[in-house]
Amino acid sequence: MILKLCGFDKQSMTLRTEWIAGITTFLTMCYILAVNPSILGTTGMDKGAVFTATALTAALATLLVAFTAKQPFAQASSMALNSFFAFTLVQGMGYSWETALTAMFVEGLLIILITLLNIREIILNSIPMNLRHAISAGIGMFIAFIGMKNAGIIEDSPSTLVRLGDFTPVSVLAMTGILLSGILVAKKVKGALFYGILICTLIGIPLGVTQIPENFLPVSMPHSPEPTFLRFDFSGFFTFDMAVVIFTLLFMNIFDTVGTLVGLASKTGVMDEKGNIPRVKQAMMSDAIGTTIGAMLGTSTVTTFVESAAGIAEGGRSGVTSLVTGVLFLVALFFSPIFLLIPGSAATGALVLVGVFMMDAIRKINTDDISEALPAFVTILMMVLTYSIADGMILGLLCYVILKLCCGKYKDISPVMYILAILFILNYILT
């Protein structure tokens, strides 16, 4: 009955594949359990409480996706929005972390309302097909770039912005993972990305990358969320600056999630010729509920993770994949020492290979019409250069509207696109 509730079809799917896909997705995104407490901890929040909040919220949101959307998508605290929380709201603008959590809570309630009113679905359906293909390809490049940056294969440069990084144990392990994953995929090994992560974790031990602490115990009791639970502060909350903050959070959340869902759905094969995605409203509602409850527990905004593409690449096609990932987040509460052993560079191979798989969307882009090709190119390029799915989408959509207007192709622009273009411009002016 559980399999049926998750949309599992025994005629076209295999349970083993769904399980491996769910484990692979978890392994490629479980870094959030280590990174999120580290980032939010810079604000003075209790790291143990944030760890528990992060795991519980990811489990809840992902399980909601499994049973309501029945799709292989996983959700957790956004890496973009946790940085916005810590480095912009708290350290930059001077708000307390309690006030920042309040902003996240209000944003979550607004996202629930917007989802109930079908506004996010209307936005999704208004995106032209060429841009949807570009979003998929752009996310692929973005995922690969994230993997290489985090592993030190690519590093910042004062003269050229980015350059090839030094050969360190971390970067060498990541390069090994890329080649290993490529070889396993080429040999059509089932679970190639999953095995690549495990093998690299083991290789990382003699390299000193996989750190095994002294007195290592694989099991530990979950930390209490009490230090961050319901710690809201509404004093001085109702200001124009805070209204701009919440508006910014809404924009980042809406377009980050919409872009990710389009990219992931294009790889599962569920998106029809008109670009419609089955039960997309339920997937969006899951992250809205996750964001609201996450703020109550003590973590930042929840969104659909692009790393879900790793599980999809392994063949995950139903909510069973999400079910496995969600359960593993619950298990992580008790086995956090084991999961935190997996170094980020061990997942680089999986992220790069996912980028390769998603690049096939470029073949579907109409490159004969420059008013279609240029916005698609801007979308792909700017996702990487701005390090943001949302900004890449916004700039691509703005480019689309302006080019179509200047070329006299008014019929190609839907009324929703005009409204979005105005809101995009206002967003950049206000922020």
pLDDT tens across 146-159, in order?
A: 889 888 999 999 88
* The pLDDT of residue 95 is above 80: yes
Whether the Cβ atoms of residue 96 and residue 226 lie closer than 8 Å to each other: no
* The pLDDT of residue 393 is above 70: yes
Q: Please compute the mean of the pLDDT values over residues 275-297 and round it to a whole number.
A: 87
* The pLDDT of residue 79 is above 80: no
Of residues 226, 220, 299, 253, the one with CA closest to residue 56: 299
pLDDT at 294: 93
> What's the pTM value of the predicted model, to 2 decimals?
0.75
Q: Please compute the mean of the pLDDT values over residues 184-209 and round it to a whole number.
A: 85
Confidence of residue 55 (pLDDT cuts 50, 70, 90): very high
Q: Please compute the mean of the pLDDT values over residues 47-62 and round it to a whole number.
A: 92
**Count of CB atoms situated within 10 Å of the CB of 375:** 25
What token pair was written down for 274? 């008109």
Q: Which residue has the higher pLDDT, 300 or 351?
A: 300
Residue pLDDT, tens place only, 252-280 = 777 777 777 877 887 777 666 666 777 88
pLDDT at 105: 94
- Residue 220 zone, left/alpha/beta (φ > 0; ψ -120 to 50; rest): beta
Domain ranges of the chain: 11-212+237-430
pLDDT at 307: 80
Length of the chain: 431
Average pLDDT, the chain: 86
Give the count of alpha carbons within 13 A of 328, CB side only.
26
Identify the weakest region by mean pLDDT among 162-166, 352-356, 357-361, 403-407.
357-361
Q: Parallel, antiparallel, or unpaired for β 154-157 and 161-164?
A: antiparallel
* DSSP state for residue 314 in the 8-state scheme: T
Q: Which residue has the higher pLDDT, 35 or 393?
A: 393
Backbone angles phi and psi of 302, in degrees to 5: -95, 140
The CA distance from 203 to 248, in Å, is 42
Output the CA torsion 285→249→74→340 (10° steps).
-140
Residue pLDDT, tens place only, 25-50 = 998 888 788 778 877 888 889 888 99
